[in-house]
Amino acid sequence: MSGELATILDHIDKIGELDLDDVEPTSHVIQVENVLRPDEPRPSLPREDALAQAPDPAEGGFRVPSPGGA
């Protein structure tokens, strides 16, 4: 895989050829104003639905092994 990544990075390095000094970066491509909506409370996903797909649900949460091992 490292050979493949090197080939891809060689291609990507072509953008180094462009003069981009005075160019603004684009993160969002369509001009939009800040969008605000009223903060209206509405029901959230029921807990049992949120847990229904969990590999190891326990006590109303997602159980995982100890982060520190053992």
Partner 1 sequence: MSELLELTAAQAAERIRAGEVSAGELFELYRERARGDELGAFLWVSDDDPPDTPPDAPLGGVPLAVKDLFCVKGVPSAAASRILEGYRPPYTATAVERLNAAGAPTLGKTNMDEFAMGSSNENSGFRPVLNPWDRERVPGGSSGGSAAAVAAGLAPWAIGTDTGGSIRQPASLCGIVGMKPTYGAVSRYGMIAFASSLDQCGPLTRDVTDAALLFRHMVGRDRCDSTSLEFPEEVRLPKAERLDGLRFGVPPELSGEGVEAGVREVLDRTVKLVEELGGVVEEVGLPHSPHGIAAYYVLAPAEASANLARYDGVRYGPRKGNGDLLSLYEETRAAGFGAEVKRRIMLGTYALSSGYYEAYYGRAQRVRTKIADDFRAAFERVDLILTPTSPTVAFKLGERTADPLAMYLSDYCTVPMPLAGVPAISIPGGLSDGLPVGIQLAGPAFSENRILDAAYALEQAIGFDGSGARV
- Could you tell me the smallest distance in angstroms from the CB atom of residue 36 to partner 1? 10
Instruction: Give the separation between CA 47 and CA 49, rounded to whole angstroms.
Output: 5
Whether 32 contacts 26, CB under 8 Å: no
H or E segment at 61?
strand 61-62
- Could you tell me the smallest distance in angstroms from the CB atom of residue 60 to partner 1? 13
- Could you tell me the smallest distance in angstroms from the CB atom of residue 23 to partner 1? 4
Q: In the complex, which residues of this chain contact partner 1 (CB under 8 A)?
A: 1, 4-5, 7-9, 11-16, 18, 20, 23-30, 32, 35, 37, 45, 49-50, 52-56, 62, 64-70
